[in-house]
Amino acid sequence: MRLRTILGVALLAASASAQLAQSANYRLDDFALAGGGGGAASTGFAAFLALEPMSGAEVTSPNFRATLGFLGAWDPQPTNAPVIFGVTPDCGPLAGGTPVTVTGLNFQKPGAGATSVVFGAAAASGVAIASDTVMTCATPAGAAGDASLSVSNAIGSDVLAAAFHYTAGLEVYGTGTPGCTGSELMSATTCPNVNTPSFALTCDHAPPLSLGLGLIGNVQDAAGSDPLAFGVLFHMSLFDPGLIGLNFTSDAAGLGFVSAPIPNNPTFVGVSVYGQAVWYWSFGCPLGPLSLSASRGLKITFEP
C-alpha cells in the first residue's frame, strides 16, 4: 500500500505584547491559540490544522531570538472526496469475483450519491458501503498483472495505482454445489508465491459462524462428481492419496477462512494443486440429503 501522509500544524499567537517576565538575557511573552481550526491528517491525503490567518511572530531579547513561522490558514483543507487506503485481499484470479474490502475515507459523505468502484477499466460488482471508511465489493475479470482501483462519487474521486494483482496462479473452475445463500467462490488472501507464511484460503457465501472442510488435492475433476453420494459435486479426486483436509471457519457475514502457509521451497514453483471447500448447513433450506454445499474449484499454481 502506498503511503503519502503529510502532517501540518499551524499554531497562532493571539497576542505577543503581554510580557510575563523579562531580564537582560531573557524575555518570555504570553502566547495563546486562537481561531476555529479544523482538519486532520491520515494515510493518503494531506490536511493542515490552520487556526488563524497569520504569517508568524518573533520572540526576542538581547541574547535570544525565536522566530515562529505558520502555515497559510486556507491551504490545504481536508478533502471530502473519497480517499483509498488499500484493498484486502490484494490478489485474485483472472476470472474475477474475489470478495475484497476497500478501506479509506469519505465513503458516506452527505451528497455523495452513488459510488463507482472500478478495477483497471472494469466496474466491480456488489458494492456495499459499510461505513465512512470501509466498503466491500467483488472484483471484475481482469488481465494478468497489476490493476489500479478508482472510487468516485458526486463529490470527487481517488485512484490507487497497482491496488490489485490479477494472477494466473489462481484459477477458478467447476460449478460446485450452491449453499443456502448462493454459489460459493474459493479464493485466497494473496498470491501463491513460495515463502508466503501468511497465505490463506477464503470462501464466500458460507453458513455464518460455522466450520467447513477444505480439501486440497493433486488430481483435478473439472466437471465434478459425487462418488460417495454426498449430494455435492467434488472438483478433485476424493481417492487421491495426497488429499489434504483443512479446517475452515466462517465469520458472521459468511466469509470462510483457513491458514495455508506456503513454505520457502523453490521446487514448488510451477506445481499446481486443486482446492475446494465443503460446508454443512444446520438450518433449513432446500439442500441435498446431507445439507451440504461445495464451493467452485480453485487451481493453485505456485509462483516464484
Report if residue 76 sits inside a domain: no
pLDDT band at 35 (very low <50, low <70, confident <90, very high): very low
- 292 contacts 281 by C-beta, under 8 angstroms: yes
Same domain membership, residue 185 and residue 235: yes
Same domain membership, residue 233 and residue 272: yes
Report if residue 264 sits inside a domain: yes
Q: In whole angstroms, give the CA distance from residue 46 to residue 62.
A: 39
Digit-coded pLDDT (tens) for 66-98: 555 555 555 556 789 999 999 999 999 998 988
Report if residue 211 sits inside a domain: yes
| pTM score, whole prediction | 0.70
Hunting for cell 518573533 — which residue is that?
58
- 187 contacts 99 by C-beta, under 8 angstroms: yes
Report if residue 202 sits inside a domain: yes
Same domain membership, residue 179 and residue 160: no
Digit-coded pLDDT (tens) for 57-68: 555 666 555 555
Q: In whole angstroms, give the CA distance from residue 224 to residue 222.
A: 6
Number of domains in the chain: 3
Report if residue 282 sits inside a domain: yes
Report if residue 13 sits inside a domain: yes
Q: In whole angstroms, give the CA distance from residue 29 to residue 34.
A: 16
What was the pLDDT predicted at 39?
47
Same domain membership, residue 294 and residue 184: yes
Q: In whole angstroms, give the CA distance from residue 119 to residue 151.
A: 9
Q: In whole angstroms, give the CA distance from residue 163 to residue 201.
A: 20
Same domain membership, residue 218 and residue 160: no
Query: Which letter, b or e, does each residue of 255-272 get, where b requires 16 or more Cβ atoms within 10 Å of its Cβ?
Result: bbbbebebeeeeebeeee
Digit-coded pLDDT (tens) for 134-149: 999 999 999 999 999 9
Hunting for cell 476470472 — which residue is that?
95
Same domain membership, residue 205 and residue 218: yes
Residue 299, SS3 per DSSP? strand
Among 167, 191, 206, the domain-final residue is 167
- CATH number for 275: 2.60.40
What was the pLDDT predicted at 235?
97
Same domain membership, residue 160 and residue 185: no
Same domain membership, residue 212 and residue 156: no
Q: In whole angstroms, give the CA distance from residue 51 to residue 248.
A: 52
The domain containing residue 275 runs over which residues?
Answer: 170-301
Among 152, 167, 182, the domain-final residue is 167
